[in-house]
Structure formats: structure tokens, C-alpha cells
Structure 1
Amino acid sequence: MDGSRHTRMPRRRFIACGLGAIAAAAGCGTERASNGAAALRTAFSVNPGGQQWAHVARAFGGVARSAGFRTGAGTPITVVGLPALCAAELNDGQGLAGVTTPLARLSGEVEVVVVPAASHLKDFHDFGAHLLAQPDQTPVTGGPQGEPDHLLFGLIAKGLGADTRQVTYTGYPSGTEAATALLAGKAVAAAGPLSQWRFNLGRGRVRALAVSSAQRLPGLDAPTLLESGVRVDFTNWVAAFGPDGMGEESREQALRMCDDVLWTPGWQAACRAAGWLSLPLVGDDFERWLGSEVARTRAVLRDLGLINSTRATTCWGSCGNGH
């Protein structure tokens, strides 16, 4: 991961997705004085684009204050993640908050593939063989349809060479409901953030077959998907975005603030405490990565049969088709 500092960034405009009411942001603002000089005129208020990102937004704002940034009203920075991108793609761009400016990737949660403890599938290879041979008879479950857990199973199926459109997936509003369905025999495997499955893993009710991160996780006896022969490195990421019409000076100051905060020991500690991966990526590097993530997400949703291949969808990141 590139940890280099950015230089002056070109002003670009981007369509984001599912960000909520960015213009109404009113949370933990940030403003900082540099080397004892007068405080920068632009202040930033860090706000979640939905309840599921509130914890990350609070942590980011808290570390910013600890790093010397002062709270106050100002230009909103909205914190959202992969589910927002999925929602925009599934809704053909409807309900978008507007054009936004990508600033930085903040953190991510590792996903885990689990089976009931008594499952006849002893490891990921058993599961993969079953999915490859009988994709329509390998029911799987997790969070809502079309969101990260579903995407992960789509990526796994594609990586194995299975017919992705035959994957039988049932989504549930919460991890608790998905766990109940799995343990009741309504699915042979489930996926979700490791944090949602720790309780059942600890109680011995389920077994982990694989994790979605590029490296194994301490304290969990499970291989990565990459080790298991599936070329997938996947996290349920969260990022920061600025609003439409963000001036170049405000944008540069926001990028500097993100750059300062995301490399502090305080941010690393906050991520460890919450069980997140720290995934700092700022400015142009984040912009390029985001473009590839948009393309991957769109392709998986198309492979799963959830969107068609001809309609124009959101353009979040650099596009070559003028969207």
C-alpha cells in the first residue's frame, strides 16, 4: 500500500452513491492550526452517510481531534462504504445524493466464510467442490441481497469457475438472522464480517472455512481465499468523501487532514480496538483504486444477474465513457 504523500490534486467531479443528506451534515467538525500559525479558514464536519458507518465516522473524528484538529461547523466530509456503492448500482443511480469528491479510504472489515460445526464440508476445498459441481444446490446466506456478503459469494463462484447465476443466495437484514438460518439448515454456508461471527465461532457453533483478506488473521485458524485457490482479496471498506462544489483549497486541506490522521498511531489503535483493518489511501491513489472497485462491483452484480449489462450506472472514479 502506497504511503507516499500527495502533491496538488486535479479538481474532478464524481457521482457517489447512497451517501444520505451530505448537505445537512452536522457532526464532529475539524479545523487545525499549522505550526502555530493562524487556523486554516476551512473547517470540516465528519459525518456518517448512514447508521452503519457511525462508528467509523466517530473514530475518525476523534483521532482527528487528538491529532490537533479542532471541532467546528464547516464543509462536510461524509463517511460511507461498499454497501452504498452496491445500492447505487442496484438502483440504477436513483436516490444519489449528488456529485461528490472522493478523498480517502479509511478502513475495512474482513469477511469470513463459515459452515455449521457439524457440516460435512470439512474445509474450503470441500465447499468449493460442492459449489462448482452443484451451484444451484449449494444455498448460501449472509446480509442483504446485492450487498458485500452476496458480492463475496459471487466473487468466489467466479473464481472457482462455477456458474455465478446459479448461486442460490438468501439475504437477511442482520447477521443474527443469517446465523439463525445457517444453524437451522437453510443454507450450507454463510459469509459476513468476522465481527458478526466471532460469538458463534467462539461457542463452537460454526467453523471458519476461509477469510477474505490477503493475509491470515491472528487467532483464527482459517486460510485465506488466495491460499485456497480463489484469486479474491476482499474487504467491506469505508471511505471519506467531500461534497459537490468543494473548492480546490478546501479539497486540498481535506486531503492533508486525511493524510495526517490516517497515518497516526491513534488511527491504527482505533482500528485494532474495533477489529477493522486500517486501509489508508488518499488522493490520486484512492481515486485510481476506487475506479477499479466500481468496475469490479458492477461486474459481480452483473454476473449474479442483479443488473443488466447494457444500462448506464454510476460513475464513481475515472470513467472512459463520459458518465
Structure 2
Amino acid sequence: MRRRQFLANLLAASGAVAGSALTGAALTGCGARQGTGGPGPAGLRARFVINPAARRWSEAGQALAGAARAAGYETGAGTKVTVSGLSAMTAAELNNGQTLLDVATPLARLAGDVEVVVVPGDSRFKDFEGFAAHLLAQPGATPLAGGPQGAPDHLLFGLIAKGIGADTRQVDYTGYPGSQEVVTALLSGKAAAATGVLAAWREGLARGRLRALAVSCAQRVPELDAPTLLESGVRVDFTDWTAAFGPEGMPDESRDAAVRMCEDATSSTGWLAACRAAGWVSIPLGGDDFVLWLASEVERTRAVLHDLGLITSTRATTCRGRCGNGH
């Protein structure tokens, strides 16, 4: 069976794979295995063009290209590899559009931005447990803030609400175009708590204007005094992930070479350095394992968007009938 058809069938099977978290992701899990020198089909050196799907993934694309070159691969020509991520998938679900899940070949998960739940420095919520208790008791009276509706920040609050047993449909969430507007909402009292990537909160946390209640990933962030959601009793492991995709209908031989490149790149010391510099969680996962994980992540995302009242169905809506399941 073609791998693309395999993915489509997985996405169409409701509950076929349980909603997945990024379990076991290490903050510095880039490893130290060196590249193989990039042998491609017929013993030729594999060559790749690595580009971001949009500006927001340009840094990750550059880091992958640099790590690939350091591992012995040639970049700038050859097989096209596109770097995209969670926000593209959610945007397409909200707009019933097509993403790289529909028109590309999944290759490998790469990295993710850690999300942090923050409150004003003088908030009455002294810890995550206090915040969670209030959200559970009064979800409609606990104003929340973050990026645009349906974006990863909103998804995380949906997962948290569901994880503590709160009525997700009553969650009072306001989306803002940027982190500065979110900080203003927090400090003015318009929002009781917010989520966003760690990089957006560093200044406010350092100055004491904000306090971190919890981090979304599986392990604590070394420089941040905040527990994980898992430690706080919420079965959520979440990052704003980035992944690599090949062209639609990619031949198996080319696909395998590209997966091998991603694995070599993300297990290199150069990738480790890029992760540390950017503050990313390195969560490499390639090939069929990534396909399986991606299918479960799509199901989890659709379920949360549905719970938040942003979409009307959790069934696959973007395959345009091409997956053979009558959608």
C-alpha cells in the first residue's frame, strides 16, 4: 500500500489511533550520532532543497539545512523538502482547506516550541492547581488569552480544559495578533492567564511582571521554575511542532533518502546547538513512526477544535475525496 494512502486511511478511521502527546520528548534530545554522508539512490550523494512553507518556519528550515550539510548532504538543489508545522494544519482545518498533509509526503518531525501558561506577577493564582480549580469551577469567568483563535495557544487551553474536566465550550478565550497585546491584556486585567511560546514571555518573566504556572512539554525547562502539565495532573504533552515534508507522490526510494537525511541532521551536534540557541524542544521522529504519530496528532487537533466549537465535525474534511473514503 502506498504510504500516502496509508496515512489517509489512518486519518479517516475515527479513533484508529488514540490522541497522542509528544511523550518522552527531551529538551536536548538531538543526540550526537553523526551523519552517514548522505548516500542516495544508486549510491549517489543525496541532494536536497530545504525551504520553509512560510516565514515562521524559516529559522527551522535554515537549521535543518545547516545540520544536513554538516552531516554530509548537499543542499540547494535536488529533492524538495518543505518545513511546516502545527499552525498550518490547524489553519487548514478551520478553513476546510488543504495543508501539506493533503498535498505532500510526511518525512519527519523535527522540533517544537515550548508553550508556557503565564499569569500576571501579582495574580491571585499562586500555582497551576489554583488556576485549574478556578477554570474547572468557572470556565466562563476565567478569561484566557493567547494567539489567534484556533492557533496552538488556543489549542493548548482547550487541551488543558478537557484534561481537568472543565466544560470546553464555555472557555472564555480571546485571541490577539501578537504577544505584546497578550501581555497588555494580562496586565490590564482583561485576561487572567495566557499561553504562548516561552520566547514571548522571557522578558516579562525576568522582570517579574509575569509568572509561569506550567510548561506544556514532557520535561521541565531548566531555566524556568515551573512544573510540567503532566506533573500538575493534566495528561497533556504539547509543543508547537515543526516537521519536514516531501512532494506529493514522492517515490519510496526518494522518500527513504529524505527521511534518512532528516534523521542524520536531527541527531547531529549542529542540530543540538540550533535547538539550544532557539529554545526548541528537539523531538525527532522519522518515517512510518512519524506517519503514525501525525495521524494521531490530526485526530487530537480535530477533537480539540470541535470541543472548542470551532469546527462542526471531527471527520476528515481536507482530502477532497481522494483518500477513497467518501469524504
TM superposition score normalised by structure 2: 0.84
Alignment-mate amino acid for residue 103 of structure 1? L
* Cα distance in 1, alignment partners of residues 70 and 98 from structure 2: 38
The aligned counterpart of 1:293 is: 297
* Cα distance in 2, alignment partners of residues 79 and 95 from structure 1: 12
1:320–1:138 distance in 2 versus 1, CA, 3 Å: farther
The CA deviation at 1:314 is 3.2
* Residue 4 of structure 2, aligned match among 12, 15, 28: 12
The CA deviation at 1:246 is 1.6
8 Å contact kept, 2:143–2:172:
yes
Secondary structure of residue in 2 paired with 1:68 = coil
2:194 matches 1:202: no
Answer 1 or 2: which has greater helix percent: 2
The CA deviation at 1:118 is 0.7
The aligned counterpart of 1:57 is: 61
Q: Deviations over 1:221-246 (max 9, x none)?
A: 11111111111111110000001132
Higher relative contact order (CA 8 A, sep 6+): 2
2:235 matches 1:231: yes
Secondary structure of residue in 1 paired with 2:195 = strand
* Cα distance in 1, alignment partners of residues 101 and 313 from structure 2: 24
* Cα distance in 1, alignment partners of residues 47 and 220 from structure 2: 39
Alignment-mate amino acid for residue 12 of structure 1? R
Alignment gaps of 5+ in structure 1? 1-8, 16-31
The aligned counterpart of 1:191 is: 195
The CA deviation at 1:75 is 2.4
The aligned counterpart of 2:82 is: 78
8 Å contact kept, 1:88–1:96:
no
* Cα distance in 2, alignment partners of residues 11 and 186 from structure 1: 47
Report which stretch shifted further, 92-101 or 47-56: 92-101
The CA deviation at 1:142 is 0.5
Q: Deviations over 1:149-201 (max 9, x none)?
A: 00000001001111101001111111122112111211000000111111110
* Cα distance in 2, alignment partners of residues 181 and 271 from structure 1: 30
1:1-323 to 2 correspondence within 5 Å? 11-13=3-5, 34=39, 39-40=44-45, 43-94=47-98, 98-309=102-313, 312-314=316-318, 321=325
* Cα distance in 2, alignment partners of residues 249 and 106 from structure 1: 21
Q: Deviations over 1:248-299 (max 9, x none)?
A: 2211211111121111121112111110011110001111110110000000
Alignment gaps of 5+ in structure 2? 9-36
1:71–1:173 distance in 2 versus 1, CA, 3 Å: same
Alignment-mate amino acid for residue 4 of structure 2? R
Secondary structure of residue in 2 paired with 1:269 = helix
8 Å contact kept, 2:86–2:152:
yes
1:97–1:213 distance in 2 versus 1, CA, 3 Å: closer
1:67–1:312 distance in 2 versus 1, CA, 3 Å: closer
Alignment-mate amino acid for residue 283 of structure 2? L
Alignment-mate amino acid for residue 257 of structure 1? M
Alignment-mate amino acid for residue 267 of structure 1? W
Secondary structure of residue in 2 paired with 1:288 = helix
Q: Deviations over 1:199-236 (max 9, x none)?
A: 11001100001111111110211111111111111111
Alignment-mate amino acid for residue 127 of structure 2? D
Alignment-mate amino acid for residue 136 of structure 2? L
Secondary structure of residue in 1 paired with 2:105 = strand
Q: Deviations over 1:62-105 (max 9, x none)?
A: 11111111223222111011101101110112577952100000
TM superposition score normalised by structure 1: 0.85
* Cα distance in 2, alignment partners of residues 104 and 95 from structure 1: 16
8 Å contact kept, 1:143–1:173:
yes
RMSD between aligned residues: 2.3
8 Å contact kept, 1:92–1:312:
no
1:95–1:84 distance in 2 versus 1, CA, 3 Å: closer
1:101–1:86 distance in 2 versus 1, CA, 3 Å: same
* Cα distance in 2, alignment partners of residues 234 and 91 from structure 1: 23
What stretches of structure 1 move > 6 A for 4+ residues in a row?
none
Count the aligned residue pairs.
Answer: 295
Alignment-mate amino acid for residue 218 of structure 2? A
1:211–1:69 distance in 2 versus 1, CA, 3 Å: same
Alignment-mate amino acid for residue 157 of structure 2? F
* Cα distance in 2, alignment partners of residues 213 and 272 from structure 1: 15
